[in-house]
Structure 1
Amino acid sequence: MLAMDDFAKEIAKALSEYTNEVTEGLDEAKKEVAKETAKTLKRTSPVGDYKGGGDYAKGWRAKKVGNGYVVHNKTDYQLTHLLEYGHAKRGGGRVQAYPHIEEAEEQAIEEYVDRAEKVIRG
């Protein structure tokens, strides 16, 4: 029976090590994908005639919140929805939309899924 106990302990130890490696790998993947997404948004954000045109693009950040990461615009967060979807003008009509966030989000999701699968497979 002693050999069986040792065998069970070795299996438990191996599973614990694997779990730790996967957890660390997924945490690293989250961090890297969030930073890459912020860089992508800095590159692809519109720079125009609106107030603080260049500041908006420079304002993208990746921030750790709980166990995950959030990519947000620190400097001009008020403009994200207006630029992504457009908006009504005061005198009538609409301002053109400049979609840039949705594409970066989709790329981030794909990249994270790819990295997560690699981490899990070992």
Structure 2
Amino acid sequence: MASDIEIDQLVSEITRAVQEYTDDVEKGIDQHLDEVAEKVRQEAETSAPKHTGKYAKGFKVSDQSKGTLKRLVVWNKKHSRRVHLLEFGHAKRGGGRVRAYPHLRPAYEHHAAHLADDIKRIIRNGGR
């Protein structure tokens, strides 16, 4: 049974469906990126060196998005200058080296390794 439909109605329905799909995918990707950033922050906090515990408590997630570009940064708000020293080790003042305590990069590599595949899955599933 054929139904008479105006071409303008068809175009508007297709446009609405594509816009709805795009909004769902964008919302799904944003939500997944927020979850991954929080997991990286939590793992960095738990695996950070805990001499006094103040350093480990300073990790935060900052949203530095611009326009359609979504950028989340996991960083240490209170001790940002120490991160690279602890992550990679450093030279001592009197000679020798202080050993590295990798904590931020391993957390990122653990949780963000499959991010591209996860985004492809979200796109295929329409935002879920």
TM-score bracket, shorter-length normalisation: 0.7 to 0.9
Aligned to 1:20: 23
Instruction: Answer yes or no: is 1:55 the counterpart of 2:54.
Output: yes
CA contact (8 A) 1:88 1:94 kept: yes
Aligned to 1:64: 63
State the shift of 1:23 in Å.
0.9
Task: Name the SS for the 1:78 alignment partner.
Answer: coil
Instruction: Answer yes or no: is 1:81 the counterpart of 2:84.
Output: yes
Instruction: Answer yes or no: is 1:32 the counterpart of 2:32.
Output: no
Looking at structure 2, the residues matched to 27 and 75 of structure 1 have their Cα atoms a distance apart, in angstroms, of 26
Counting matched residue pairs gives: 118
State the shift of 1:3 in Å.
2.6
If each structure's helix is expressed as a fraction of its own residues, which one has the higher value? Answer: 1
State the shift of 1:77 in Å.
1.2
Extract unaligned runs of 5+ from structure 2.
Answer: none
1:62-108 CA-partner distances (Å, limit 9, x unpaired): 12122321111012111100011100011111110111111111123
Looking at structure 1, the residues matched to 89 and 71 of structure 2 have their Cα atoms a distance apart, in angstroms, of 29
Instruction: Give the one of 102, 105, 110 matched to 1:99.
Output: 102
Q: CA RMSD in A?
A: 1.8
CA contact (8 A) 1:85 1:99 kept: yes
State the shift of 1:6 in Å.
1.9
Looking at structure 2, the residues matched to 119 and 82 of structure 1 have their Cα atoms a distance apart, in angstroms, of 37
Extract unaligned runs of 5+ from structure 1.
Answer: none
Identity, % of aligned positions: 39
Which runs of structure 1 show a deviation greater than 6 angstroms over 4 or more consecutive aligned residues? none
User: Normalising by the residue count of structure 1, what TM-score does the alignment of the two structures yield?
Assistant: 0.86
